[in-house]
Chain A
Amino acid sequence: AQSVTQLGSHVSVSEGALVLLRCNYSSSVPPYLFWYVQYPNQGLQLLLKYTSAATLVKGINGFEAEFKKSETSFHLTKPSAHMSDAAEYFCAVSETGNQFYFGTGTSLTVIP
């Protein structure tokens, strides 16, 4: 069975500080892993994805995530937060590329 756990439903960081959003997954096979961002009243925008190539994945807007099989983690990071990064972030896992299982989301607040 596949599942995703996002630790911390709310994360606050100061502008310019490191952003770290945590995601742990369970999967019986090597999964595909994704991070999406959602702004209010909008759909989801793909930030980055892991598909069994390089373990360190770089995405849009300066975000990156590292796949760590031993820790079953796929944490999202950004070295320096911008005000525009304030949004809801979702981690998702898929074993087949078909059905996606989403975490419960992490709301990121950036403090000026």
Chain B
Amino acid sequence: GAVVSQHPSRVICKSGTSVKIECRSLDFQATTMFWYRQFPKQSLMLMATSNEGSKATYEQGVEKDKFLINHASLTLSTLTVTSAHPEDSSFYICSARGQGASDTQYFGPGTRLTVL
């Protein structure tokens, strides 16, 4: 099946710093990538949808200036958490979808962000 990678898998940062998370589709071209946030023992919450070469679409309640998304190529999307605070600590998961309407989303392994 399709493989999606995320880097880093874990990151610890100080409050006020910015953190960049990369999401790559390794063996297919992802026209659309998605970023989710998952709190402990809860479901995934969609944060934003990004299409290659265009601005991301953010879900209601998600601060676009705080969670910067760039989808510069068909295989790479990045999420930057700017001026991180402890409440931003969470598990961030990306997914990527190919071009077909019935294509499923393939998920990355997730990134555990801890803000001290």
Residues of A near any B CB (own CB < 8 A): 32, 34, 36, 41-46, 49, 51-52, 90, 96-100, 102-105, 107
User: Cβ of A97: which chain B residues have Cβ within 8 Å of it?
Assistant: 97, 100-104
Give Cα A99–Cα B46 distance, bound, in whole angstroms. Answer: 8
Give Cα A66–Cα B97 distance, bound, in whole angstroms. Answer: 24
Dominant SS at the A interface? Answer: loop
Give Cα A90–Cα B43 distance, bound, in whole angstroms. Answer: 8
Does B8 interact with chain A (Cβ within 8 Å)? no
11 A-B pairs with CB atoms under 8 Å apart are A34-B104, A41-B91, A44-B95, A44-B107, A97-B100, A97-B101, A97-B104, A98-B32, A99-B46, A104-B42, A104-B43
Give Cα A67–Cα B80 distance, bound, in whole angstroms. Answer: 39
Smallest CB separation, B106 vs chain A (Å):
7
Q: Would you call B104 and A45 a contact (CB within 8 A)?
A: no
Total of A-B residue pairs, C-beta within 8 Å:
55
Residues of B near any A CB (own CB < 8 A): 1, 4, 6, 32, 34, 41-44, 46, 49, 91, 93, 95, 97, 100-110, 112
Give Cα A104–Cα B44 distance, bound, in whole angstroms. Answer: 8
B32, B97, B102, B103, most chain A CB atoms within 10 A = B102
User: Cβ of B110: which chain A residues have Cβ within 8 Å of it?
Assistant: 41-43
